[in-house]
Structure 1
Amino acid sequence: MRCSHYFYLCHQKKERIQLNKMTNIPLQILKTYYSISPTEITQMDGYETWNFKIKTKNKKYVLKIYPHSENLQFLNATNAVLEKLSDNFPKNIPAIDGKKIITHEVENEIYHALLLTYLEGDFLGKIKTDASLLESFGFFLGKMDNVLRSLRSPIIEARIQNWDLQHCLMNAPKINLITDHSRRRLVQYFFQEYKETVLPLQYQLRKSIIHSDANDWNVLTQNGKVTAMIDFGDIAYSYLINELAIAIPYAIFGKKNPIEAACAIIKGYHQQLPLEENELDILYYLIAARLCVSLINSTEQQAQHPDNQYITISQKPAWELLEKWITINPFFAKSEFRKTCGYKSNLFTKKENLISQRHRFFSEALSVSYDTPIHFEKAALQYMYAADGNTYLDAYNNIKHVGHCHPKVVNALQRQAANLNTNTRYLYENLTSYADQLLKHFPKKLNKIFFVNSGSAATDLALRIARTHTGNQNMLVMEEGYHGNTSAAIEVSHYKFGHQGGMGEPAFTHTVPTPTIHLQNKLLTKTSWKANILLSLSQASKNGLAGFIAEPILGCAGQMPL
């Protein structure tokens, strides 16, 4: 038996509770309350509970001992649920006096204990799984949930805890314990998507009592089939679909095709308990949320026990799956989940219609990338998701930034849009506070800020400032430079005026050759390159030079550093 509250990841080794001078407690309890004389007592993994495998001449049991702080009402409610399930689940064995939970006192310390049947089988986490076994797993879960759906328990329904996936956002304050920036951002992103995709449906989703911790060390198998399940410590009244969302991640660790493996489990479950379309549509994000909850809590344990290298090792498959999960197009995952259950695929592409509408509503000057344009519907960090189910690594989409839908950026935009959206002509504390923080990153001479809405507007303003300050018009610009789409910006953008469709170099603009292009490709010698620069500078200075504008990294020239 394993205490699921603390079973964060597959194979994670838990600290054993040290019994010290009370090592005879299990024996006292067994003899006093159950009249059992064991031939062998073996301590099993536990954290908040002591778990023991008990052997007699003819039988095996599991003895669970709880600290006095454990909620007796919850234990009784859990036992009541177990009584309604088949013998494929642990059954409570009453004490001699008929009590199902006994209270035992040792040296002024009070404990609660209960005796359970011992279930045979190999843990799912110990064996190699195939599609047949995974389908059997789903079938078992569906059969169990069919029974649980008919049960009600005010005690279980009132319980709120951070491992219940519907309350996963309770774990958000601990995200900063993840020190790796890219991994922390990944967890923040999936929590953001939980808010965007799951919470809007919270009043439409079916709810039920669920096991809520069908990880691979709570699932027993025999002869290629799932035959039993243990540890109802995380039992919850939650979204029904959360049963699968919690079970699937652990079962697909290390799979080359995690969606295919997930579909095998979904298929078996759907045969027993038909899933609804809205449940399947959010399953991709619920699976990610479960991984995030596990990783946040294991990271917390790692911070508390920094010398325990096993925690780091055990996190590896979960991080690998989460990092792989974001590369999977959510529309593709949703489509595969739907098809598995006999529903219509959601994959679509309105490419021809969109192209037609684009020609109808927009100028041909606004070109579309690629001979076969891509229809995108969503993006996440460095990935873009097409409507046809493909995922693209974005190494092209305009100037690189912090990533699509970065959780901090999205949160800041949403928070501000919900509070106030006005121009800079009014007094507003955030405006001056942001300016103060921003200026700390610049030289002291740069002590004034103009907030603008785009790079084009910034270029236009920079030109006005330079020309007003100097009283001159001429600008020195870099070959292949691009600074925006306003008239003023195009006039200093060689990439626009110097190529097909351009108007040619304006009289007040003077272009210098890009060193990276000409020197590295040996189109010019260093001497001739310098001569060209001096010539352009001389021509620009004749009628007064206002300034020089260049990108430190030339984007349109191919992300080329100067």
Structure 2
Amino acid sequence: MLLPPRVSHDQAEEIAAAHYGISVVAERLAAEHDDTFRLVTAGGPTRLLKIAQIPPGTLADAGASPLAASFQTAVLLHLARAAPALPVQRVISTLDGRPELHLDGHVVRMTSYLEGPVLGSRPASAALRRDIGGTLARLDQALRPFAHPGANRTHLWDLQNFHQLRPLLDQLPGQPADRDQRAALVSCLDRFEARVLPRLADPATRRQVIHTDFHGDNLLAAADRVTGVLDFGDSLAGPVAMDVGVAACYQFGAAAGTDPLIPALDVIAGYHAVDPLGPGDPALIGEFMLLRLAARIIVSQWNAAREPANRDYLLRRTPQATAHFAALRAIGRHAVADRIREALE
């Protein structure tokens, strides 16, 4: 079965019928790159179908390969065995028992569909923010013994290779109003290469398979707890501090009228209460918070220039990232690290 660059609703329904034996109505979901469909069955459970697009020869897809997609499937299979209580999607096998399909160079995976409200950017209580951190900690604990050759991948959101974004920043059209922000982003790149990158090579920096994308659009939440964790598409082997920093930065400034760092500290403290962080982690978490905000500004604009039809989706969080990047820089790295240490006491 040949798949075009974008998979149609009809083709998604044909895949479900031919390989999974179910009759469905396919509804396309917004996604950064892959074709993703919600599959509604007549009286049966809703499913999710994800078809990984693997266009060759582009930096943005350096982490996209059949091996990388198989790695994502392996992560979900491992979590089903190692941590069945975690609220993550479960892999649905094909009619002949395969956990995923390889169709003309594309990788197809069907999973259960987790129902419930997406946290998104709506305000979260302090209790929910702590549960975000605690849920991430339980996920990291479950993934700690997991190994797979596909984990040794990278992509544009991999902050271990933040320096790969320098040519992307150089390609963005500059405006006079953007000069101060561009200078700040260049400074961030320079600091990463001089100070952060050497620390990542330190054997004391704890590494494992991590989610790397633990934000509101990938979390279902009800009341004061996380009820679902979605999208392992960016998972890879990396430092635990990066996973925590990414999750924390998305809660930075989330509570209106308060100190903008407090919501992020709730996430970090919630993580630490379940999976204690090491003495070197506070400073590194602070660095990764700033790096993720910088990456959001650069990558979203670069992707929007490449995919103008998807521009609104790709830039939906850029104004927020821009404001938070400036606010976090204003607090200062040393002050952020000190306050993270205090939150862990």
Q: Paired residue for 2:141?
A: 146
Tell me the CA shift for residue 312 of structure 1.
Answer: 5.3
Structure 1: which 5+ residue stretches go unaligned? 1-16, 343-562
SS of the residue 1:64 aligns to: strand
The secondary structure found in structure 1 opposite 2:37 is strand
| Residue identity in the other structure for 1:215 | H
2:250 maps to: 250
**Distance between the aligned counterparts of 1:338 and 1:23, measured in 2?**
50
**Structure 2 unmatched runs, 5+:** 56-63
* Structure 1 residue aligned with 2:45: 59
Number of residue pairs the alignment of both structures matches: 318
- Give 1:409's aligned residue: none
Aligned pair in 2 of structure 1 residues 118, 312: CA closer, same or farther (>3 Å)?
closer
Q: CA 1:241 to 1:64, structure 2 compared with 1: closer, same or farther past 3 Å?
A: same
The answer to whether the 8 A contact 1:82-1:91 is kept is yes
1:81 Cα deviation from its structure 2 partner: 1.6
TM-score by length of 2: 0.85
Partner SS, residue 273 of structure 2: helix
CA distance in structure 2 between the partners assigned to 1:216 and 1:178 by the alignment: 29
CA distance in 2, matches of 1:68, 1:185: 34
Deviation, structure 1 residue 99: 1.0
- 1:274-300 per-residue CA deviation (whole Å, 9 max, x = no partner) reads 101111122222111111111111121
Q: How many angstroms does 1:253 deviate by?
A: 4.6
Q: In structure 1, which of residues 89, 98, 117 is the aligned counterpart of residue 112 of structure 2?
A: 117
C-alpha deviation, 1:167, in angstroms: 0.8
- 2:156 aligned with 1:162, yes or no? yes
CA-CA distance at 1:270 after TM superposition = 0.4
**Counterpart Cα distance in 2 of 1:126 and 1:136:** 16
2:222 counterpart of 1:222: yes
1:262 aligned residue (261, 264, 271): 264
1:4-153 correspondence to structure 2 within 5 Å: 19=7, 22-38=8-24, 40-56=25-41, 57-67=43-53, 71-85=65-79, 86=84, 87-104=86-103, 111-153=106-148
Alignment of 1:132-211 (within 5 A): 132-157=127-152, 159-176=153-170, 177=172, 179=174, 180-202=178-200, 203=202, 204-211=204-211
1:160-559 aligned at under 5 Å gives the runs 160-176=154-170, 177=172, 179=174, 180-202=178-200, 203=202, 204-255=204-255, 256-304=258-306, 308=311, 314-342=317-345
The sequence identity of aligned pairs, in percent, is 23
Distance change in 2, residues 1:96/1:121 (3 Å): same
Specify the SS of the correspondent of 1:214. Answer: coil
Aligned to 2:61: none
Inter-CA distance 209–329: structure 2 relative to 1 (3 Å threshold):
same
Computed over aligned residues only, the root mean square deviation of the Cα atoms, in angstroms, reads 2.2
Q: TM-score, normalised by structure 1?
A: 0.54
Distance 1:309 1:161 in 2: 22
After TM superposition, give the deviation of residue 112 of structure 1 in Å: 3.2
Contact 1:253 1:318 in 2 (8 A): no
Paired letter, 2:48: V
Q: Which amino acid aligns with 2:90?
A: K
Measure, in 2, the Cα distance between the counterparts of 1:80 and 1:304: 31
Gap change, CA 1:254 and 1:320, over 3 Å in 2: farther
CA distances 1:323-372 after superposition (whole Å, capped 9, x unpaired): 11111032222121111112xxxxxxxxxxxxxxxxxxxxxxxxxxxxxx
Q: Secondary structure at the match of 1:96?
A: coil
Partners in 2 of 1:149 and 1:236 — Cα distance?
12
Change (3 A) 1:156 1:121: same
Alpha-carbon distance in structure 2 between the residues aligned to 1:316 and 1:174: 19
Which residue does 1:464 correspond to in 2? none
Matched AA of 1:292: A
Q: Does the Cα contact within 8 Å between 2:9 and 2:26 map onto a contact in 1?
A: no
Paired residues of 1:178 and 1:296 also in contact (CA < 8 A): no
Look up the equivalent residue of 1:113 and give its one-letter code.
V
What whole-Å deviation, never above 9, does each CA across 1:481-536 have from its counterpart, x for those lacking one? Answer: xxxxxxxxxxxxxxxxxxxxxxxxxxxxxxxxxxxxxxxxxxxxxxxxxxxxxxxx
Mapped partners of 1:68, 1:24: distance in 2: 20
**Alpha carbons 1:53, 1:62 under 8 Å: kept:** yes
